[in-house]
Structure 1
């Protein structure tokens, strides 16, 4: 399913809508060029999950854990761009917290899929007019059912 979102605020709103479908153990893999809106989408997810702290790009620290503040589910936000190998991914020990958290990985395609049996792939593209095109692709699990709830507005 694909969404065309005219503003960054719309991107954050989609993140918030998506967060209402999420549960501990979910893995979201975000792809898209620099400035596409990966962190903005994650900000919307984090706001709706009620996690602590501002959500900023984890580019220089690679992974940041946002514990619950007003919510109940932690958010693990990862930037896999600078990871050189699967061994470096293992060093992050993400699988130790993945069952209890929602894990969002920017630049994670081809690297982190093996962490869970199912995941949500989110492809983000930024158009010249600053609109974002976001495609959600469920892999395994009950993603098709959950995404249907998103389009029907029942989440």
Structure 2
């Protein structure tokens, strides 16, 4: 499943739509180069999940937990991880293990930037989101479900998605 998004605002809006098919226990792996729009997509997911506070890049703290805000229709926590800095350590998988993400993965939507090859083993099924920034600053977003019922859930994504 592929979407072409013209602006950063479109990327956030797509994240909001994607949040509608997410549920507790989901792992979403965001893959793309610097500036592709991974954090913008995570912001949209946070908005769609109705979490408290602003979703910002957790590059320096590595992981942030955003609690649901019942006043905004919040239903599930968002754990937002940026594993970018872990790529420079001798054993990044050990660093991921130290984050104890598996302790919250069943009760949260866990979104991981820069986690390819580091976090997939935490769950039986996960969603891979590949974001590529094009020369005109638009983005191409490819959604690939790995295991579970991702194909049927992604088929329910509303509008602006082409196959």
CA shift, 1:90, in A, is: 0.7
1:33 and 1:81 mapped to 2: Cα distance?
11
- The aligned residue for residue 83 of structure 2 is 80
Divergent runs of 4+, >3 A: none
1:132 aligns with 2:129: no
CA shift, 1:80, in A, is: 1.0
2:50 and 2:107 mapped to 1: Cα distance?
15
Structure 1 gap ranges (5+): none
Structure 2 gap ranges (5+): none
Give aligned pairs, total.
153
TM-score, L = length of structure 1: 0.95
Deviations for 1:77-98, whole angstroms, at most 9, x for unmatched residues? 0011122321111100000000
- The aligned residue for residue 66 of structure 2 is 66
**Corresponding residue SS for 1:82:** helix
Greater shift in the superposed pair: 58-67 or 80-89 = 80-89
**Corresponding residue SS for 1:120:** strand
CA shift, 1:151, in A, is: 5.5
CA shift, 1:152, in A, is: 6.7
Q: How does 1:96-111 map to 2 (within 5 A)?
A: 96-111=103-118
1:3 and 1:115 mapped to 2: Cα distance?
27
1:25 and 1:72 mapped to 2: Cα distance?
13
